[in-house]
Structure 1
Amino acid sequence: MKNSNIVKLISNYGSRLWSLVSVFIFVPFYIKILGVENYAVIGFYTLILGIISFADSGMSSAVIKEFSQNNSPSYKYSVFRGIENLYLKVCLLIIAVLVLGSGFIAGKWLNSNTIDVKSLAYYISLIGIGATLQLLSSLYYGALFGLGEQVKSNFYQIIWNIFRAGIVIPVLIFYKPELEVYFIWQIICNLVYLVILRLESMSILKKMDSSLERAFKKIPDTILSYIGGMVFISVISAVNIQADKIITSSIFPLKTFGYYNLASLISQIPVILGTPLVMFAFPLFSKFASDQKNVNLTFDKIAYLLSIVIFPVSFVIMFFPEEILKLWNGKNIEPQMFEPLGHVTRLLITGSVFLALQLPLFYILLSKGKTKYTIYQGVVQIIVGIPLLYICAKYYGLEAVPFPWILINFGSFLFLLFIVFKSFIEIKYSYYLKRMIFIPGFISLLITFLFYELHQVLHVNIIIYLAGIGGLSLLINILADNIFAKRLYSSFKHLYNFPK
């Protein structure tokens, strides 16, 4: 039972849900203790982490992919050590670039009314060190994942997140409420987390074969080719996903960027909730790469679970953005900002739905080593999306920034859908669109609309409405799917009985 599919899936969600909940719990404290502008610098940490994620270049996914297949312990160890050495060199280079370039970033990129350029440069140097350590830990997290230790890796991630995001609050309150303390704490937590994950990964590998030290060889050419393809994907993906934040942080004052970051955090919920599902499925896609029947079955289950999870949540945010902002951070947001932030949140969440729907399609291609399609997609996104983002931000203000986000993610979803269904999945378009999009989307939209209308008449705590919408949508979606598939009304085991 320890490593069963359902336990792994639950642990994936436990880790991601805690990360999500921790954001809603701790961000208001950061703003209250440090102020909106200082919080924007913390948001810049997330931006830097997103930008430098290109350095991963598929290395952690390569480890998951190779570890998930039936390779010998010596081969796995050789791959692990070779990629680790390459990753370390790349991370040291990133730290050097960020530290040496901190003055330029502080002076030419960010616009602060209260923090001097010298202090900003110092914070960016600390951000560079902390974010790079966090990035490197993804390699060891991926190693545990690929070795089947998803429960253990998720447990460590939850503990790390508690210390990194939660314990820092009393440190700021009782020691010193300054950004320097916050970022140094991040560095310490990230370093300890990284060391623990590496020790665990090495321990498991050596238990498989005690003579592994003699197995260390160079990285196989096939993996280097895979990583090479992923370099382009990672660079393009980092630019596309972070483009709105890059532009808003450079055009608008830090305070405005801080507010935009709040809307952006809420809009990431569909992707955050969808990621545990596809990360659970990725090793299965890799394992069954030559078994089309099991690939189809895994995709069918993951795509459906993704839909019934993200549609209810996304429609809730679309209908109740201002209420959610007030519930979450009401005391820290200026009253005149709720309406524009609600508008921005509503649009951003629309784009994020299409991004979340891409996840199973992307990981199908990744499991088969087909990176060229994602490269094509990303190049077009940059050529079209970046200029549009700049024009919208520069000439039409903050509320126009999300429109290019919707456009590029909708277009990317259609493109990946066409490629995957044409060559890599034996499932009919009509079946996918009906079961994964139209039915769960319509049910979730209808229930959310009814609750929204009820909210206009009966003003009770918004949490009750949110819980009611989520629970009822999930229940009716599963019931409707059972009716259409002619299963028992109460059937649910089909949702998680993945092939082994």
Structure 2
Amino acid sequence: MKNSNIAKLISNYGSRLWALVSVFIFVPFYIKILGIENYAIIGFYTLLLGIISFADSGMSSAIIKEFSQDNSPSYKYSIFRNIENLYLLICVVIMSIIALGSGLIAEKWLNSNTIEIQTLSYYISLIGIGATLQLLSSLYYGALFGLGEQVKSNFYQIIWNVFRAGIVILVLIFYKPTLEVYFIWQIICNLIYIIILRIQSLSILKSQDSNLHKYFKKIPKNILKYVGGMTFIAIISAINIQADKIITSSIFPLKTFGYYNLASILSQVPVILGTPLTMFAFPLFSKFSLSNQKDLNITFDKITYLLSIIIFPVSFLLIFFPVEILKLWAGKSIESNMFSTLASVIRLLISGSLFLALQLPLFYLLLSKEKTKYTIYQGVIQVLLGIPLLYFCAKYYGLKAVPFPWILINFGSLVFLLFIVFKNFIDIKFSHYFIRTLIIPLFISFGVSFLFYLLHKINGGNIILYLVCTGILSVLINILFNNIINKRSFKEFKHLYNFPK
């Protein structure tokens, strides 16, 4: 069962769930030890990583795509080494640009009331090193992933995250509670993580062919074309996904940005939970795209349904219980007058993130077919319309208005991608997808969440119990109802993960 579909799915979700849980566990400690403004600088680390992610330019996804297909070990090794050399060069350039521009970023971008410009500039230089190394790790993670070692790659990712996000708290407590220590620890963890992933990837390749010493020093044209298309997509995507944080970090004080970052973390839950499922599907999409339309249809149908019964319940939990979840998570670190504002922001951000999560299977299906032009069209429109609207909302209507462009952009993108994919690339009736994958899970999840919301309002009680019961019942009722309408046994569930091979 080491690399079976169910093992890969479990490991994918284990890695993502741990990353999610670790945020909920550790962020309150960061705020308690360092303060909300210093935590905002940690949030800026995440923001900068998101911005420079365009530098990946699809190279890690190209590795996954090429490695998941039936190519020879020598071909894979050549692709790996050529892309690695290009990636290293790009990372060195980015690291240098951030270091040289750190003073300008500290002075013109961030608004700090307590941290001196020179100190802030130093932190930004450290952030540049740590974030660039973390970006580079995605290449080696993608290599292991594409080689079919999803279980192993996710195991390493979990261990890395434990040290990077968890053990650092002990370092801050027992050594020195400063941002300098925090960022240096990130650099050390990221560097060790890269070395381990690279050694493991090369070891697997060489076990398939012991004569891997030389490689052709040229990237094939089809991969260059793919990476070229992905470069533009990555730039547009980085701007669109991080635009709200870029604008809030530049318009509002760091303290307000820190609070917005808390709301943003919660709103990312649907995407975080949807990503491992679609990443699992991407190699299957790549495998079936050019040769087996029937298996591609089956895989797409299963993935989209699984995605819906996972993200709808979680989204409605956050929509109905934002204040309760905030208090449970970081209540002592949040000023009482901020709960109402943050609750409104979370509800709106979650709606936009739900639309974004539903796009994931569509996006990866188009990638598997090397059809990047549609995502480029989508991204350009998002930038031209969304960024000015986002700035206008933030500047003139405050923090509560920031999420509105996020909702409009992602809803429009979902409609556009659904139209393209169902018209050109998938042989499934749209009515089947719309009713089975969207409408039924939506209404079941909404109904269960609303019922438990009313029960909580009337009776009070342990909020954790309400959250757990709501999530589990929503998923189980969705599966049960689907079995009934498809005339399966109530206990049947293997069809959910029994993907074509």
Provide the C-alpha distance between the structure 2 equivalents of 1:485 and 1:382, rounded to a whole number of angstroms: 42
Provide the C-alpha distance between the structure 1 equivalents of 2:214 and 2:323, rounded to a whole number of angstroms: 60
Question: What percent identity do the matched residue pairs reach?
Answer: 76
Provide the C-alpha distance between the structure 1 equivalents of 2:191 and 2:212, rounded to a whole number of angstroms: 25
Aligned pairs for 1:241-390 within 5 A: 241-290=241-290, 291-390=292-391
Provide the C-alpha distance between the structure 2 equivalents of 1:489 and 1:417, rounded to a whole number of angstroms: 31
Provide the C-alpha distance between the structure 2 equivalents of 1:37 and 1:311, rounded to a whole number of angstroms: 33
Q: Per-residue CA shift, 1:158-183, capped at 9, x if unaligned?
A: 00000000000010011110000000
In the other structure, the counterpart of 1:142 is 142
**1:43 equivalenced with 2:43 (yes/no):** yes
In the other structure, the counterpart of 1:425 is 426
Q: Which amino acid is 1:130 matched to?
A: G
1:216: how far off? 3.6
1:458: how far off? 1.1
1:484: how far off? 1.2
1:212: how far off? 1.2
Q: How many residues align?
A: 500
Task: Name the SS of the counterpart of 2:490 in structure 1.
Answer: coil
Q: Which amino acid is 1:56 matched to?
A: D
**1:449 equivalenced with 2:458 (yes/no):** no
1:461: how far off? 1.1
Aligned pairs for 1:63-74 within 5 A: 63-74=63-74
Provide the C-alpha distance between the structure 1 equivalents of 2:76 and 2:101, rounded to a whole number of angstroms: 37
In the other structure, the counterpart of 2:208 is 208
Q: Per-residue CA shift, 1:107-159, capped at 9, x if unaligned?
A: 00000000011111000000000000000000000000000000000000000
Aligned pairs for 1:157-172 within 5 A: 157-172=157-172
Task: Name the SS of the counterpart of 1:33 in structure 2.
Answer: helix
Q: Which amino acid is 1:442 matched to?
A: F
Provide the C-alpha distance between the structure 1 equivalents of 2:293 and 2:89, rounded to a whole number of angstroms: 38
**1:175 equivalenced with 2:175 (yes/no):** yes
Provide the C-alpha distance between the structure 2 equivalents of 1:18 and 1:489, rounded to a whole number of angstroms: 30
Provide the C-alpha distance between the structure 2 equivalents of 1:385 and 1:452, rounded to a whole number of angstroms: 33
Task: Name the SS of the counterpart of 2:130 in structure 1.
Answer: helix
Q: Which amino acid is 1:91 matched to?
A: C
1:489: how far off? 1.6
Task: Name the SS of the counterpart of 2:214 in structure 1.
Answer: helix
Provide the C-alpha distance between the structure 1 equivalents of 2:244 and 2:13, rounded to a whole number of angstroms: 27
**1:15 equivalenced with 2:15 (yes/no):** yes
In the other structure, the counterpart of 1:496 is 497
Provide the C-alpha distance between the structure 2 equivalents of 1:53 and 1:419, rounded to a whole number of angstroms: 26
Q: Which amino acid is 2:393 matched to?
A: C
In the other structure, the counterpart of 1:87 is 87
Q: Which moved more, 1:457-466 or 1:32-41?
A: 457-466
Provide the C-alpha distance between the structure 2 equivalents of 1:187 and 1:477, rounded to a whole number of angstroms: 43
Q: Per-residue CA shift, 1:8-27, capped at 9, x if unaligned?
A: 00000000000000000000
Q: Per-residue CA shift, 1:368-388, capped at 9, x if unaligned?
A: 100000000000000010001
Q: Which moved more, 1:209-218 or 1:355-364?
A: 209-218
In the other structure, the counterpart of 1:481 is 482
Task: Name the SS of the counterpart of 1:2 in structure 2.
Answer: coil
Q: Per-residue CA shift, 1:230-250, capped at 9, x if unaligned?
A: 000000000000000000000
Q: Which amino acid is 1:423 matched to?
A: N
**TM-score of the aligned structures, taking structure 1 as reference length:** 1.00
1:48: how far off? 0.2
Q: Which amino acid is 1:396 matched to?
A: Y
1:68: how far off? 0.4
Task: Name the SS of the counterpart of 1:210 in structure 2.
Answer: coil
1:440: how far off? 0.4
Provide the C-alpha distance between the structure 1 equivalents of 2:119 and 2:376, rounded to a whole number of angstroms: 38
Provide the C-alpha distance between the structure 2 equivalents of 1:318 and 1:215, rounded to a whole number of angstroms: 53
1:333: how far off? 0.2
Provide the C-alpha distance between the structure 1 equivalents of 2:330 and 2:460, rounded to a whole number of angstroms: 20
1:321: how far off? 0.3
Q: Per-residue CA shift, 1:326-385, capped at 9, x if unaligned?
A: 000000000000000000001000000000000000000000100000000000000010
Task: Name the SS of the counterpart of 1:212 in structure 2.
Answer: coil
**TM-score of the aligned structures, taking structure 2 as reference length:** 0.99
Q: Which amino acid is 2:86 matched to?
A: L
1:323: how far off? 0.5
Is the contact between residue 77 and residue 216 of structure 1 (CA under 8 Å) also seen in structure 2?
A: no
1:432: how far off? 0.4
In the other structure, the counterpart of 2:99 is 99
Q: Which ranges of structure 1 fall in alignment gaps of 5 or more residues?
A: none
In the other structure, the counterpart of 1:237 is 237
Task: Name the SS of the counterpart of 1:215 in structure 2.
Answer: coil
Q: Which amino acid is 1:402 matched to?
A: P
Provide the C-alpha distance between the structure 2 equivalents of 1:364 and 1:55, rounded to a whole number of angstroms: 22
Is the contact between residue 58 and residue 231 of structure 1 (CA under 8 Å) also seen in structure 2?
A: yes
Task: Name the SS of the counterpart of 1:101 in structure 2.
Answer: helix
1:486: how far off? 1.4
Is the contact between residue 81 and residue 216 of structure 1 (CA under 8 Å) also seen in structure 2?
A: no
Is the contact between residue 270 and residue 310 of structure 1 (CA under 8 Å) also seen in structure 2?
A: yes
Q: Which ranges of structure 2 fall in alignment gaps of 5 or more residues?
A: none
In the other structure, the counterpart of 1:414 is 415
